[in-house]
């Protein structure tokens, strides 16, 4: 299948630019989640946008429970996308799970990447008492999450969208995220959630050889500040900043803060 159609790849920005930005979206949203970020970079950068398989306008027939049971399927996809779109030094900007996907892909194919930006990303969501690691979720809470998705997807969406988006004074943001989740097939949503929340890629962090920028919000239910602090300690030469934003989707709820932070890094 045509890779462009498979991942709904779009090119934006300045095709003659000397640098490229590739944006990777997180769970429950698609490339449109960056729509308020892109205009700030269109003049100076060549921009690549895509949808992960199972989300957005990607080819849903390409989704496989086996291939995407872990992040490895998504990592392979990203390496294909990066090869397809390569042309100039590339900064990969990954939100949530796509941040970790980008980091893993950069470790495997370093020549395809120049810099990494991780927005609300985590190497492991589950606590690990054996190593005193805090991920933010214990095993019981994750099992409850999976059960809620499986037994009453619509009810789970209502609760999760509000918790993840925060910004209770702007309920339209949570409603927007809820609509995006409703567009996901429930079985795919469950498969993706398990691939994300059960991952453990802490061993990948010390292998990073690219300049890495970690963005943390003030109140992220999915990725508490202690996680991004852990990442900063374990990714060589990385830089971490906490922006003035709430929730797991600052590119949607606080685009100006994200733009300013990205510009300072780029």
Q: What are the pLDDT digits (tens) for 159-189? A: 999 999 999 999 999 999 999 999 999 999 9
**Closest Cα to residue 51, out of 150, 197, 213, 180?**
180
Average pLDDT over residues 250-256: 97
Identify whether the C-beta of residue 254 lies closer than 8 Å to the C-beta of residue 165.
no
Say whether 96 is catalytic. Answer: yes
Share of the chain above pLDDT 70, in %: 100
Average pLDDT over residues 32-58: 97
Say whether 59 is catalytic. Answer: no
Confidence tier at 249 by pLDDT (50, 70, 90): very high
Average pLDDT over residues 204-233: 97
Contacts of 221 (CB under 8 A, 6+ apart): 136, 163, 164, 166, 247, 248
Say whether 4 is catalytic. Answer: no
Q: Hey, what long-range contacts does 83-86 have (CB within 8 A, 24 or more apart)? A: 83/109, 83/112, 84/3, 84/4, 84/9, 85/9, 85/11, 85/20, 85/22, 85/48, 86/20, 86/112
Active-site residue identified among 58, 121, 220, 228: 220
For residue 211, is pLDDT > 70?
A: yes
Share of the chain above pLDDT 90, in %: 97
Give the pLDDT of residue 87. 75
Active-site residue identified among 33, 58, 96, 98: 96
Task: Enter the tokens of residue 138.
Answer: 């214990």
CA torsion angle 193 141 93 188 (round to 10): 10
- Which domains, ranges and CATH numbers included, belong to the chain? 3-125+201-265 (3.40.50.1820)
Instruction: Report the run of H or E that residue 12 belongs to, with start and end.
Output: strand 10-13
Active-site residue identified among 7, 25, 210, 248: 248
Give the pLDDT of residue 1. 66
**Closest Cα to residue 96, out of 195, 172, 182?**
195
């Amino acid at each position: 299948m045509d890779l462009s159609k498979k991942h709904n790849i779009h090119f934006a920005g300045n095709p003659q630019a000397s640098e490229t930005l590739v944006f990777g979206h997180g769970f429950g949203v698609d490339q449109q989640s960056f729509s308020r970020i892109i205009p700030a970079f269109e003049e100076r950068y060549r921009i690549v946008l895509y949808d992960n398989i199972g989300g957005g306008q990607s080819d849903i027939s390409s989704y496989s429970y086996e291939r995407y049971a872990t992040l490895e399927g998504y990592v392979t996809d990203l390496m294909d996308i990066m090869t397809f779109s390569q042309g100039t030094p590339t900064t990969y900007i990954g939100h949530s799970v796509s941040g970790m996907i980008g980091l893993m892909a950069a470790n495997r194919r370093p020549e395809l990447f120049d810099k990494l930006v991780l927005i609300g990303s985590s190497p492991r969501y589950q606590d690990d008492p054996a190593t005193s690691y805090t991920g933010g979720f214990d095993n019981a809470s994750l099992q409850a999450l999976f059960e809620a998705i499986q037994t009453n997807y619509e009810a789970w969406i209502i609760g999760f969208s509000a918790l993840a988006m925060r910004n209770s004074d702007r309920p339209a943001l949570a409603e927007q995220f809820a609509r995006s989740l409703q567009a996901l097939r429930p079985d795919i949503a469950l498969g993706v959630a398990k691939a994300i929340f059960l991952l453990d890629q802490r061993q990948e962090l010390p292998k990073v050889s690219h300049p890495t920028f970690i963005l943390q919000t003030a109140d992220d239910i999915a990725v508490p500040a202690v996680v991004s602090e852990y990442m900063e300690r374990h990714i060589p030469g990385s830089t971490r900043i906490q922006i003035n934003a709430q929730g797991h989707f600052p590119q949607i709820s606080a685009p100006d803060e994200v733009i300013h932070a990205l510009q300072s890094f780029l």
